[in-house]
Structure 1
Amino acid sequence: MTEVFQRSRVVQAWLAGIRYLESQKNHDATNVILEVTSPQAATSEDRQVVISVSQALRQRNAERTVMTAAGTIFPQTIYKRYGRPGWYAHYKTIMARGMAPRSWGTYALRMIERKDESGATFNPLEKIIEKLAAIRTKNLNRYVAAYELGVCDPAVDLAEDLNGVGFELPTYDPSSDRHKYYGSACLSHVTFKLMHGKIDLTAIYRSHHYAQRALGNLIGLAQLQQYVATESGYETGTLTCISTYAKLDDGFGGIRAASSLLETFPIDETLIKAPLAAT
């Protein structure tokens, strides 16, 4: 069953999703869709939620925070320090030194380093920015849906070990599709749309843990969206996250602990009544 939650900000969207999962018998669901209309906006109340979630996560794992998850999608701090394109090399150097043995890396690393047909490496994320920036000067405004970013590696993700919920089949191949404005595969993990001068982003998750990961993931996606829009010369639009399988995991210490924590958070913005008009 599909559930769609449209909210103005990332934190409010996450709260709507996780509260929905809390209400389900088995605390999971398929096709939970969060649509955030102003993904880069955040109130002081939102920031306090992020702090509280990080504190709860640290009680279970001292190294896990909301921003740790965000950084696996987009390393905002490194980008702010080194800019584009400098952050690419610095990030890869950091990952080469600090990545755990036999780890598949991070989503950000997959986005900025792939191998082409000859075995040479290229940067899919940079290619998307170049394509978006070029359409203003090459009169290619008709290409709305030609900016796909696959974060799945067939060599790793189609291995025979069974880990997680579902079996992933990547359909976008950067080695052959990155130069195309049309005709490439329609299904991908991260897709950018140029809609009326704004960059929309849609992300698809095959499995999504709403306590441990989802809030940080949404923040990282919003930062990635802002990066692509800024560097290609556009404004940001809507952020949509589709969790094909969503679960309220035990990242906060179990369902009872999660429920207690959620009770301390702001109410859903859709429940806030507008002030009565003056008579």
Structure 2
Amino acid sequence: MSVDDPTAGAKLSDASVNAVNEFLLRHDKSVRTIANTIFPEALYHRYGAPEFFDRFRDRVLPTVRRNERWSGYYFERMVDWPGAPAGNPLWDVVTRMRDPAVRARNKFELALFDPARDVDRSPYGGQCLSFLSFKLLAGNPETLTLTAIYRNHYYVEKLLGNLIGLGQLMSFVATEAGLNIGSLTVLSSHATIDLPRSTCGGTTTRGELRALLDEIDGLSPTNT
């Protein structure tokens, strides 16, 4: 899947995003919650970089951490990787992009899958986003592209929120490194058309999915 402009039409105020969000809210999910696991945009806009990293570590992470293996936030793994030479791998990517002495413009990688934390006998759960590969295309300024690799993807509950979160991440990197935003490519080695279940036990029906798709198809082009 490729998205030419991953930041266009990606706000809750956009009609199609709002339609999906309202659908997910009926099942105790939300687009914003999913997007925030990849990039906490509001925190960044409030405190700026690099200060918002500390705010995330000190204020947000203690409230969402499930255990030492997995907080549910991919952003945690981007900014705090045990044993990494750079204390903050994401910020290291940005600072290397800024540095004109860094000649390799296709060597900006972030691993999310961690064998020490993620290899177990559980048939489900854990991380689904495994790897991020940023590339810079020639120009003045250069253009940022991103390829994200998922080992597993729930298309109904997670896809839109993930696309928005990845777009927000790209916007952050491009802003801080002085780049244009290019395309986003998502590779899912396994994907499921899931039927989200609410905490009350209700499960989405295929009829409800068809109704959601019909609603989005019926939106005018200026509102999607």
TM-score under structure 1 length normalisation: 0.68
Q: 1:218 to 1:81 in 2, by over 3 A?
A: same
Q: 1:192 aligns with which of 129, 134, 137?
A: 134
TM alignment of 1:1-279, pairs within 5 A = 34-42=1-9, 47-61=14-28, 64-102=29-67, 104-105=70-71, 106-116=73-83, 122-134=87-99, 136=100, 138=101, 140=103, 143-163=104-124, 189-196=131-138, 197-251=142-196, 253-266=204-217
- Alignment-mate amino acid for residue 94 of structure 1: R
Equivalent residue number for residue 23 of structure 1: none
Once the 2 structures are TM-superposed, how far is the Cα of residue 43 of structure 1 from its aligned partner?
A: 7.9
Q: What SS class does the counterpart of residue 263 from structure 1 fall into?
A: helix
Query: What is the total number of aligned residue pairs between the two structures?
Result: 210
Once the 2 structures are TM-superposed, how far is the Cα of residue 139 of structure 1 from its aligned partner?
A: 6.2
Q: What is the rounded CA distance, in whole Å, between the counterparts of 1:223 and 1:89 in structure 2?
A: 19
Q: What is the rounded CA distance, in whole Å, between the counterparts of 1:96 and 1:108 in structure 2?
A: 10
Which residues of structure 2 form unaligned runs of 5+?
A: 197-202
Which residues of structure 1 form unaligned runs of 5+?
A: 1-33, 171-187, 273-279
Query: Any conservation in 2 of the 1:164–1:207 contact (CA below 8 Å)?
Result: no
Q: What SS class does the counterpart of residue 114 from structure 1 fall into?
A: coil
- Alignment-mate amino acid for residue 259 of structure 1: R
Q: Deviations over 1:161-186 (max 9, x none)?
A: 33259x99x9xxxxxxxxxxxxxxxx
Q: What SS class does the counterpart of residue 44 from structure 2 fall into?
A: helix
Q: What SS class does the counterpart of residue 190 from structure 2 fall into?
A: strand
Runs of 4+ aligned residues of structure 1 deviating over 2 Å after TM superposition are 43-46, 94-97, 100-103, 159-162, 266-269
Greater Cα shift, 238-247 or 74-83? 238-247
Equivalent residue number for residue 176 of structure 1: none
Q: Point out the structure with max Rg over C-alpha.
A: 1
